[in-house]
Structure 1
Amino acid sequence: MATVSHVILKQQKKDDGTYNVKIRITHNRKSSYIATTHYVDSSSLDKNYQLKKRNNFIYDEVMLDVLRIRKMFSGIGNSINNYTAKELAKKAEDLLAGRNLDQINFFDYGYKVIRDFKSSGKPSYENMEVGLRRLEAFIGSRELNFSDITSNLLRRFEEWLRQQPSLVSKKKEVTISSAGVKLYIGNIQRIFNIAKDELNDEDRGIIRIANNPFSKYRLPKYNAPSKYALSREQIRAITECRFDINCMGKLIARDVFIMSFLLVGMNTADLYHLLPESHGRFNYERRKTSAKRADKAFFSVRIEPELLPYMERYKDLLGDRAFNFFTRYASHDQFNHKLNSHIKAVGNMIGVPEINMYFARRSWATIARNECGVSMDDIAFCLNHKSGHNITDVYVARDWEIVDRANRKVIDYVFGTNVK
């Protein structure tokens, strides 16, 4: 906790024999000083260079200022740890000078923006709310004014986010990626900018929010994906996207995209018609090419642990198919059309507005080749492409372990515990 006291710096004696009374702010073992308007000579000081208390109106005035500063610091609460001593001294100086007295609570304003967005049907309010709740958890309360948000606080918030469990995995050691950090803090920046646009009037000289912490703080960057494939950060960011329960179409599109990726890019028609698992695997004939191939484009993929929560969420309770999508959509064409429509909202949130469901398949193949070292022949096998070796295909039995090993490599790369 920061401490506030008055002090005389005896090495700063003026030529006329007086000393300026300073207020010292000490925080995290560092100190910063505020010069007051008061000057005293040695007659007002004791032998330890402290202000005499008796019959000393300057002592009374300085102590009133000290008490005002202490009260302000107490109101900041736990978030005071996000400040440096110098930043606290600046806040105290502004208080004593009568600046920034019109304090606006960031959470009160932020939740008002979210309510307005929700009532007007703007879907982006869900992620704004998740970002705001993450910030609230970091601060430990809703006691946060706009003037409290500094570049230092944002950097500390980023450090804290990177230590939090990701929504991608139930494993605590899997933490939020750079894309997730950008998603959360980007929404905080959006609320901040909305407030400045509404509350500041530069033409009339009315500036209720004077600070701009984002001028010094930069959102994290991550590697851009190829045109038709996503990076692992963007795939992880998809799992971080949050929607209201009333936006079921977007929720399903988000989940099906990840399910497709976890199943080596299985397309939506095959997911729609997929039969229940058999001995920990999904076996099916790829509908797109089954009629054109002697092997009916048969394919088998092992069910990985990351898929299990989705299997439970969309389980067909009658057991006729693996998933209940056929009870929600009249045909696989309608299923595919709705998914591609709703996945656009997800794409906008992660900065890829041109996304469609086929990106899951392309992303799996791109990551397998470029990041996991899977050979092009094995990738073709994993994607169930015709090999071109017609005679050889007749005699060589397919080794589905090739698919399983490659898929495990890709999943570990994207969702593994060492992802930063």
Structure 2
Amino acid sequence: MATVNAKIVPHQKKDDGTWNVKITVSHKSQTKYIDTSSFVDKAYLDSKGKLKKAFVDKHFSTKLTEYRDALTALGSKVKFMTCEDVKSFLKNLDAKDDIIDLFSKFDERIQEYRSKGREGQAKNILSVINHLRDFTGQQSFDITHLTTGFLYEFKRYLESPKVIVRNNNNGGYTKPQERRGINANTQIIYFGIISNLVKDLRKRYNNQSIGHTPVPNPFENFDSIKPVKTKRRILEISMILDLLNYKPVGKMETVTRDLFMLSFYLCGMNPVDMFAYLTNPKMTGGFEYARTKIKNRRIIDGGVTNVLIPECAQVLIEKHAGTIQRDYRNIESLHSIFRYGWKRIRAKLGFNVSMYYGRHSFATIARKLCGISKDDVSFALNHKFALDVTDIYAEPNWEIVHHVQKTVIDRVFSELEEKEVA
């Protein structure tokens, strides 16, 4: 049977001559300690160096009785518990009154991701917590209220049109903005973020073996959201040529069009990586970089890829490398330019296009028009499923990426020449 008592550990005397009073947990010939907030000096010790009975009775009898009653209630379960299990069980009794604030846990995760440079994931979590705070009208949220019913109500809220107000960078608030309901695919991302945090919190706080489950599992009976097929973000090669021949008007259009073409030439390089790595206008030959989106998640290769700098890209690098970092405070500022630039360019060209279209179109041209294998296209795009266990040991063959890159660019300029001749 496990036993508990209040004691001091003689050799843990502090510099001020006091000892911390600890609850000792003894079970199966082992002893563990639970710290308390009480400290005593030698006046509270008897001649044997132990806590005086009167002190224990006055200050710890209630807590010891609570612990002993709880251990008795466990019955035969205690036989299958280690001493550490018993200690955790007793500590969890004290924690039952402590509220686990879901919102603060989200805030902690945002800070964690930002400290690791995972700004994209941090922004997604921030969107979720903003919607949750809007929905509940609260700044904190007891996780025990996160029920399956709550999730369905939150889903209905996300689907509905709404007016939102957010904090701005000046310490004030934005103007009220009307927003459409959030589509199913974005909802899948949002609920996935909530589910992942709940899983982590359940691992951290729950102990099924002793019946301590302060974090519920609301997703157990929550029907998964069915994804909706999205419009394909692919441009015909003729549209790529239209963009290539487009004469931008003003700085916004110029930066938007040029960085789109640069992304296309560099195997679909994302703007966040251009902002991070294209800082030297004199870059030549080629360069290796770790993709910001995945570098902290890819154990095998760290998201590293290697691309050539063809002549068509060199011209744009000389024009914009270092300049975009000087002109725009961060990647968010650059994305704001893209929004305005694309709005104007789309209106003039008559088709939908955004930065994402460059990466998707590069892949489609490589696969369908150039006949490059799916594996090689995936490798050029630095997709995870293009890797296998062998890649842990073997040096990557960047010539494959360079071949895909050169083949796609040659195809585009070949069609451009044919168009000009015609």
Q: Which has the higher contact order (CA 8 A, sep 6+)?
A: 1
- The answer, yes or no, to whether TM exceeds 0.5 is no
TM-score tier, shorter chain, comes to 0.3 to 0.5
The structure with the greater share of residues assigned to helix is: 2
Q: What TM-score, normalized by structure 1, do the two folds share?
A: 0.42
Q: What TM-score, normalized by structure 2, do the two folds share?
A: 0.42
